[in-house]
Structure 1
Amino acid sequence: MTAKYLVTGASGQLGQRVLHHLLETSGVEPSDIIAASRKPDTLIEWAQKGVAVRRVDFDDAASMEDAFAEAERVLLISTDALDRPGIRLVQHRAAIAAAEKAGVKHLLYTSMPEPANSPLLFAPDHEGTESALTASSIPGWTILRNNWYFENLYMSASTVLASGQWYSAAGEGRVAHIAREDIARATAAALASKSDDRKIYTLTGASSYTHRDMAEIIGKATGKDIAVIDVPVEALVQGMVGAGLPDPVARVYASIDTMIGVGGLATITSDFQTLTGVEPLAFEAWIDSQADTLKSMVK
């Protein structure tokens, strides 16, 4: 029997929550879902619920052909090789080619806002994947341009809350970020849709914030005053290198601030509401839900 919906990256944080929302929010039958991962042994819980589990590795064409067999709608969650720009594009193109060969009817891809001409160092991976998808013979496709997750704050939260200093090269740029849980809910809704249209959605929160706005909100929730200190991007890179990050990785992370500074994450849309019928979680509410964890980082 043909399974309708396949989720790649199913063992990752986003993939896990997409599976949850397919079952619990969108009401998809477990027998209509395939969970695919490089680590299928981590998906036992889903197999016990009746979800089919398959191995998929975007560096292994045979595994993709086997995984995509008989799947009608495939969610391609972008891979995690952030420290090696270009590698993901090779992997994603291979996955799209395998989906074409398998006769997939609709492919969904998790991209980023405004990938064309973006200063973000891995933006070309997303732009190239979008181009490969739109040029493919797959009948239908959906591109989900996901804004930054609230949860990405945890990459620097412990350092910021311990020192009370947030070094930023983003200036007064704003971020319309959104909870990972909301991204998962909207992604599951798009995957479970019967639509065969070719569409691009940009998933954002309902408000946008500068780093100073965020620092003030976090400070109120934790009782810790946070000073945002403006620095040039190269100083930001060297600070991260001094903290132990390899230079190429530091430059990738610093390019996020550059992107914010030029407005690359500022656009607010109603696409989340269009897909889900509900409002996205507000940043303030998410910070309140994380207050105990954040307070534990205060020195």
Structure 2
Amino acid sequence: MTETLLVTGASGQLGRGVIHHLLDTLKVAPTQVIATTRDPASLADLAARGVTVRAADFNDKASLTSAFEGADRVLIISTGDLDLKSGKRLKQHETAVAAAKEAGVSHLLYTSMPNPEPVSPVLFAGDHYGTEQAIKESGIPYTIFRNGWYQENLFMSLPHAIASGHWYTSAADGRTAHGARDDMAAAIAAGLASGSRESKTYTLTGPQAYTVAEIAALVTEVTGKPLEVIQLPDEALTEGVKAAGVPEDFARIIVSLDANTRSGRINMVTDAIETLSGRKPKSLKQFLEANKAALAG
């Protein structure tokens, strides 16, 4: 029997990437794919290709249960609601897991983060850990993708750092193997379309882990612009990020990512992207070269 594959958050960058790889790389028939979003009009292009588009609101269990109806394998892409005080995102994910069980989904897939256990310094790690536990407790066979940090996340800090010549961080000598979002989307699409019944967890990373100083050296090599790394304590970095106009809660999240890097909890390098997708992941230098103009202005 041909399985129906469903992707939540299909209007987001990762969701669209996954669906692109399902249709164009893996040649999954559009009639086997369901794309869900809060605003179905935003996916008119996919509907025109024959993909089934359904409305789904993570704050409304009935809408999720209805959207998941008839789907064999469901990919829950974590939502973007990072309200640290309300626990909103974990509630949304738990609602989605319950809806999947109610709808009779046979395999559940989820985009998590590396090492989300309660000791993680990352302030939103609990959302992912709690979701992983809810999936395991549901009894539905699962695939968990623990996505490492995207190379594209560097757009949040590098343009300003390059322009000023100073990169402020509290990551010390911790390493990160940034991976390309599209490489992760290709791996996730392959896992979604695999038909695997086995419960597995994959950590998706780029091909090499670098310290901030090593990334800065690569940036200088590619752009020709000097970039000095300035290490700060977490508290001073938080105040600096806030002074740049970032709201306090988000500033604390940003700094918690540096603390996580410093702790060594994001320094792993895996071959999961190549194992799942059959393609070699893009290197950080390739990313910097491809985005030189956008990064360096």
- Equivalent pair of 2:143/2:201 in contact (CA under 8 Å): yes
Percent same amino acid among aligned pairs? 49
Shift in Å, 1:5? 0.3
CA deviation vs aligned residue, 1:240-260 (integer Å, no higher than 9, x gap): 111111111100111000000
Q: How does 1:218-257 map to 2 (within 5 A)?
A: 218-257=219-258
- The aligned residue for residue 186 of structure 1 is 187
- The aligned residue for residue 153 of structure 1 is 154
- The aligned residue for residue 265 of structure 2 is 264
Provide the C-alpha distance between the structure 2 equivalents of 1:225 and 1:14, rounded to a whole number of angstroms: 32
The answer as to 2:44 corresponding to 1:69 is no
State the TM-score, normalizing by the size of structure 2: 0.97
Provide the C-alpha distance between the structure 2 equivalents of 1:101 and 1:94, rounded to a whole number of angstroms: 10
- The aligned residue for residue 104 of structure 2 is 103
Q: How does 1:166-205 map to 2 (within 5 A)?
A: 166-205=167-206
CA deviation vs aligned residue, 1:214-244 (integer Å, no higher than 9, x gap): 1111122112100000000111110111111
Shift in Å, 1:3? 6.2
Provide the C-alpha distance between the structure 2 equivalents of 1:249 and 1:145, rounded to a whole number of angstroms: 22
One-letter identity of the residue aligned with 1:132: A
Instruction: Return 5+ residue gaps in structure 1 as ranges.
Output: none
One-letter identity of the residue aligned with 1:148: W
Provide the C-alpha distance between the structure 2 equivalents of 1:268 and 1:3, rounded to a whole number of angstroms: 32
Provide the C-alpha distance between the structure 2 equivalents of 1:18 and 1:57, rounded to a whole number of angstroms: 19
Provide the C-alpha distance between the structure 2 equivalents of 1:2 and 1:206, rounded to a whole number of angstroms: 34
Provide the C-alpha distance between the structure 1 equivalents of 2:285 and 2:206, rounded to a whole number of angstroms: 11
- Equivalent pair of 1:3/1:34 in contact (CA under 8 Å): no
* 3-state secondary structure, aligned to 1:53: strand
Shift in Å, 1:157? 2.0
Provide the C-alpha distance between the structure 2 equivalents of 1:80 and 1:40, rounded to a whole number of angstroms: 18
- The aligned residue for residue 15 of structure 2 is 15
- The aligned residue for residue 32 of structure 2 is 32
Provide the C-alpha distance between the structure 2 equivalents of 1:124 and 1:229, rounded to a whole number of angstroms: 30
Shift in Å, 1:2? 8.2
Instruction: Return 5+ residue gaps in structure 2 as ranges.
Output: none
Shift in Å, 1:186? 0.3
- 1:125 equivalent among 109, 124, 127: 127
- The aligned residue for residue 49 of structure 1 is 49
Q: How does 1:284-295 map to 2 (within 5 A)?
A: 284-295=285-296
Greater Cα offset, 283-292 or 144-153: 283-292
* 3-state secondary structure, aligned to 1:167: strand
CA deviation vs aligned residue, 1:186-230 (integer Å, no higher than 9, x gap): 010000011010000001111100001111111221121000000
One-letter identity of the residue aligned with 1:246: P
- Equivalent pair of 1:2/1:70 in contact (CA under 8 Å): no
State the TM-score, normalizing by the size of structure 1: 0.96
* 3-state secondary structure, aligned to 1:212: helix
One-letter identity of the residue aligned with 2:168: Y
Shift in Å, 1:286? 1.1
Greater Cα offset, 81-90 or 159-168: 81-90
* 3-state secondary structure, aligned to 1:27: coil
One-letter identity of the residue aligned with 1:129: T
- The aligned residue for residue 139 of structure 2 is 137
**Alignment length (residue pairs):** 295
CA RMSD, Structure 1 to Structure 2 (Å)? 1.2
- Equivalent pair of 1:174/1:263 in contact (CA under 8 Å): yes
- Equivalent pair of 1:170/1:258 in contact (CA under 8 Å): yes
Provide the C-alpha distance between the structure 2 equivalents of 1:292 and 1:159, rounded to a whole number of angstroms: 13
CA deviation vs aligned residue, 1:59-114 (integer Å, no higher than 9, x gap): 01111011000000000000001243621111000000000000000010000001
